[in-house]
Structure 1
Amino acid sequence: MSESTATRPPVSLLRVLAGRRAALTAGGVALGSVLLLAVFQQLTGLHVFAIPYIATAAVLALAPGAPLATPRAVLISYPVSVLVALAVTELFGHSHYSTGVAVALTVLALALLKAPHVPAVAAAAFVGLQSPGAWYLLDPMVPGVVLVLAVPLLVSLLKIGYKYPAG
Structure 2
Amino acid sequence: MGGTLGIGAVGSIALLVGTPLLIAPLGSTCMMIFGAPHAPFAHPRNVLGGHTICTVVGLLGVRVLGNAPWTIAAAVGLAMALMGLTRSFHPPAGGDTVLVMLAQPGWLFLFVPVLLGCVILLGIAMAFHNAHSAGSYPVSSVPTRREVIAAEE
- TM class by shorter chain equals 0.7 to 0.9
> What are the ranges of 5 or more consecutive residues in structure 2 without an aligned counterpart?
141-153
CA distance in 2, matches of 1:63, 1:114: 18
Q: Does 1:98 align with 2:51?
A: no
> What are the ranges of 5 or more consecutive residues in structure 1 without an aligned counterpart?
1-27
1:141 equivalent among 96, 110, 114: 114
2:49 equivalent among 76, 91, 103: 76
CA contact (8 A) 1:60 1:69 kept: yes
**Relative contact order: is structure 1 or structure 2 higher (C-alpha 8 Å, sep ≥ 6)?**
2
Number of aligned positions between the proteins: 140
Q: TM-score, normalization: structure 1?
A: 0.79
CA distance in 2, matches of 1:62, 1:162: 13
- Give the CA RMSD over aligned residues: 1.3
Alignment-derived partner of residue 43 in structure 1 = 16
CA distance in 1, matches of 2:117, 2:27: 9
Alignment-derived partner of residue 3 in structure 2 = 30
Alignment-derived partner of residue 25 in structure 1 = none
CA contact (8 A) 1:96 1:128 kept: no
Q: Does 1:65 align with 2:53?
A: no
Alignment-derived partner of residue 151 in structure 2 = none
Q: TM-score, normalization: structure 2?
A: 0.85
Alignment-derived partner of residue 127 in structure 1 = 100
CA contact (8 A) 1:94 1:130 kept: no
